[in-house]
Amino acid sequence: MQGLHDVLQPAGPAAAHIATLWWLTLAICAAVFIAILVAFLIALVRAPRADAATPPDLAPLGSAEPRTRLVVSIAVACSIVGLLLLLAGSIAADRALARMPEDDALHIQVTGHQWWWDVIYDDPQPSRRFQTANEIHIPVGRPVLLSLQSGDVIHSFWVPNLAGKKDLIPGHILTLRLQADKAGTYRGQCAEFCGLQHAFMGFEVIAESPQAFAAWSDAQREPAHAPSDPGTTRGHDLFLTGTCMMCHAIAGTPAGARAGPDLTHVASRKWLAAGAVPNDPEHLAAWIRDPGQFKPGAQMPPHAVPKDELDALVAYLETLR
C-alpha cells in the first residue's frame, strides 16, 4: 500500500512540533551517549590490564577519592541539566500541541471496528452528514477534530506524518486534533493490537485543496444512483437479495446494515478491506469470493458465487462512485 508514513516527514503542525522536539531530543541524547561512550572507552584503554593474580587495590577503602567524586558529581549535574532541558522541550511541545487552533474545524467521527474504520463527517445540518470508511479526506490548511470511539476492542488511530496516535477505547470518546499543511496522501494504521487482522487495519488520509475537498464531500453526500443497465441491475438485485445487505449499507437502497463498511461510494475509494486490497474490479471480485486469502480471519465470509453473478455484483459495485 502506498502513501507516506514517516514520523520525520511531518505534513502538518502537530507532527511538525513533535518532529522538532525529536531532533532536539536526539541531539541531547546523542551528545550524552557519545560522552558516556568516550569516557567508557578511555577508561578501558587507560586502565592497566590485570589477571587473577593481581592483588586488589584497597587504597579506595581509606579515601573518599575526592577528585573522582568531583568528576562524577559534575557528570551527574550535567545529566540533570540535560534532563531538565528535555523536560522543558517536552512540555513546550505538549503545550504547542494543546494550543493548536480549533476554529472552523472539520468534525469527523471515527469508529474503530475489527478490522476497519467507520468514518462519519459531522455537520450541524443532519442532512449534510455522510458516512464512509477507511478513507479520510481533509482540506489542506483547515484544523480537523477527530472524535474517536470504538465499536468493539481498543484500537489506535495513527497517521505518522500528521500527528501522534490516540486510542479508541470502548466507553470513552477521545479527540485528536490534526491538520495537513501539504496536500498528499498519508497512510495510517491501527497501532493498538486488536486481534487477528491488526496488521491490516489501515486507512488513508487524503489532504487536498479546499475546492477538491468540497467537491469530494458533495459527491459523498449523494445517495447511490439506481442502476441503469441490465448487468448492473442484476448486481444490484443480487446485493439486495443475497448476503451482502445483511452487513453493508448503501444509501439510497434498502441496504442499511452497519456491521461492515458503508459501500455507498465504495468505488470511489482507493483501497478495499482497510488498506489490504487495491480497489479494482479484479481485486474486488477476488475479495468478495474469498476475503480470507487477503485477510485471514476477516469478518466478511467467503462467497462461492458463480462467475456471472460475481461479475454482475462487481459491475454494480463499480458504479458506486
Q: Which of residues 234-293 bind other proteins (CB under 8 A)?
A: 238, 241-244, 246-247, 257, 259, 276, 289-293
Please give the span between the terminal C-alpha atoms of the chain, in angstroms, as a whole number.
21
Applying CB under 8 A, among 154, 183, 212, 267 the residue interacting with other proteins is: 154
Cα–Cα separations (whole angstroms), residue 320 to 36, 119, 192, 260: 61, 17, 32, 16
Applying CB under 8 A, among 127, 171, 228, 230 the residue interacting with other proteins is: 171
In the complex with other proteins, the residue whose CB is nearer, 180 or 220, is 180
Total residues contacting other proteins (rule CB under 8 A)? 115
Which residues in the 41-70 window bind other proteins by CB under 8 A?
A: 42-44, 46-63, 65, 68-69
Which residue type does 240 have? Answer: L
Stretch that binds other proteins, among 3-11, 99-107, 137-145, 206-214 (CB under 8 A): 3-11
Residue for grid cell 489506535: 156
Nearest Cα to 267, choosing from 253, 250, 254? Answer: 250
Residue for grid cell 467467503: 302
Which residues in the 181-240 window bind other proteins by CB under 8 A?
A: 187, 189-200, 238
Contact call for residue 142 and other proteins (CB under 8 A): no
- Cβ proximity of 120 and 63 under 8 Å: no
Rounded distance, CA 202 to CA 191, Å? 9
Contact call for residue 7 and other proteins (CB under 8 A): yes
Rounded distance, CA 317 to CA 250, Å? 10
In the complex with other proteins, the residue whose CB is nearer, 212 or 305, is 305
- Cβ proximity of 187 and 1 under 8 Å: yes
Phi, psi at 319, each rounded to 5°: -80, -10
Contact call for residue 81 and other proteins (CB under 8 A): no
In the complex with other proteins, the residue whose CB is nearer, 166 or 265, is 166
Applying CB under 8 A, among 11, 12, 13, 21 the residue interacting with other proteins is: 21
In the complex with other proteins, the residue whose CB is nearer, 281 or 297, is 297
Min CB(127)–other proteins separation in Å: 26
